[in-house]
Structure 1
Amino acid sequence: MHPDTHLALHLAHVADLRADADAYRLAAAARHPHRLRTRLGWALVEVGLRLTAAPRTAAAC
């Protein structure tokens, strides 16, 4: 294969990969707030459960 043809095919492939990566990155950024809200909600549930749990007494040594 001629080097110029090989380079042109390589650059086209790189452009396709970058376009796919950009689309994936934008889609991931769009769903990020929902994931953060879910994690925060579960963290608050865990804190609430720890606050309502009966305190454990220290074991005698």
Structure 2
Amino acid sequence: MRPETHLVLHHACAAELRAEADVYRLAAQARHPRDLRIRLGWALVELGLRMAAAPKAAAAIP
């Protein structure tokens, strides 16, 4: 294979890899708000479970 042909193929392959990396990077950035919602949701579930399991000391006082 001639060196020029090899160089052209290398540039084409590198461009495809850069495009795939950009797509992956954009997908990873778009995924962060969803991760935040999931963490917030589980934090609220944990808070609710703690409130439901809290002792009822204030209700026992007449």
TM-score range, shorter chain: 0.5 to 0.7
What is aligned with 1:3? 3
SS at the partner of 1:4? helix
The question of 1:20 aligning with 2:20 is answered yes
Unaligned runs of 5+ in 1: 56-61
- CA RMSD across the alignment: 2.0
* Range with greater deviation from structure 2 (44-53 or 7-16): 44-53
For residues 54 and 19 of structure 1, the distance between their equivalents in structure 2, rounded to whole angstroms, comes to 53
Structure 1 or 2, whichever has the larger Rg, is: 2
Instruction: Calculate percent identity across the aligned residue pairs.
Output: 71
TM-score norm. by structure 1 comes to 0.65
Normalized per residue, which structure has more helix? 2
Letter of the 2:25 counterpart? R
What pairs up with 1:21-60 in 2 under 5 angstroms?
21-53=21-53
Q: CA deviation at 1:54?
A: 5.8
State the TM-score, normalizing by the size of structure 2. 0.64
Moved over 4 A (4+): none
Between the two proteins, the alignment pairs up a number of residues equal to 55
Alignment partners' CA distance in 2, 1:3 and 1:52: 72
